[in-house]
Amino acid sequence: MRHASVRLISSVLVIALFIAGPAGLEAKGRRGALIILTKVDGAQVKGELIAVESDSLRLLRGGDILSIARTKINSVQILRRSKQGSGALFGFLTGATIGVMWGLGRGPDPIHGHPALVAGPIMGGVGALIGFLASPWGRVDSTLALAGVSSQIAAENWNALRAHSREGRRAKLTRLP
């Protein structure tokens, strides 16, 4: 009985690590940056940057694709995505592994059963909380001005946005060896 529960716990942890790792890395490269676009009239639009064309930006907002003309854009704030979900998952898996290993080292208890089955989830919960709180929160990473600056700076900022777009990130992935 003892070997079956240890194998079950080990298998669940290995499968969770396998599933969590590659999916997060693959999804990161396909999405564009989250941006807050400020128009010349002061209105703001938040969405995912899909593409930077010569005369407009394409954004994904609530399932709709918006095309906003370059002449109507005052500035673009690039937001850094929150890493709290992956931090909590990593913390849970680390804490659960430590709890299971500690429980396995103590041996079975005739009253409470195997401590690994209790310590794993408890330490996993503590690890998830620590991972969630220690991970970077979403915030403004940089602001690129497009109006009220020289045409050279505006052109440089416009070209810099391409690297943050979904299309720009896909092109970067295809160029990797």
**pTM reported for the whole predicted model:** 0.53
Given a cut of 70, the residues of the chain with pLDDT beneath it are 1-30, 81-82, 110-112, 136-141, 170-177
The pLDDT score that the predictor gives to residue 39 is 92
Q: Cβ(47)–Cβ(165) under 8 Å?
A: no
- In the prediction, which pLDDT does 136 show? 65
Predicted pLDDT of residue 19: 61
Residue 24 has a pLDDT of 47
- All structural domains of the chain with their residue ranges: 30-79+139-177, 82-137
Per-residue model confidence (pLDDT) at position 84: 76
Q: Residue 4's pLDDT is what?
A: 59
Spatial separation of the C-alpha atoms in residues 29 and 49, rounded to whole Å: 13
Quote the CA–CA distance of 24 and 5 in Å, as a whole number: 29
Query: What is the side-by-side order of every strand in the sheet holding 34-39?
Result: 64-69, 56-61, 44-52, 34-39, 73-80, 139-145
For the 30-79+139-177 domain, the top CATH level (class) is mainly beta
Q: Which of 80, 84, 83 is nearest to 36 (CA)?
A: 80
Strand partners, 65: 60
If you write DSSP's letter for every residue of 109-139 in order, what string do you get? Answer: BTTTB-HHHHHHHHHHHHHHHHHHHHSPPPE
Longest dimension (CA), the chain: 77
The answer to whether the beta carbons of residues 86 and 77 sit under 8 Å apart is: no
Are residues 155 and 124 in contact, defined by beta-carbon separation less than 8 angstroms?
Answer: no
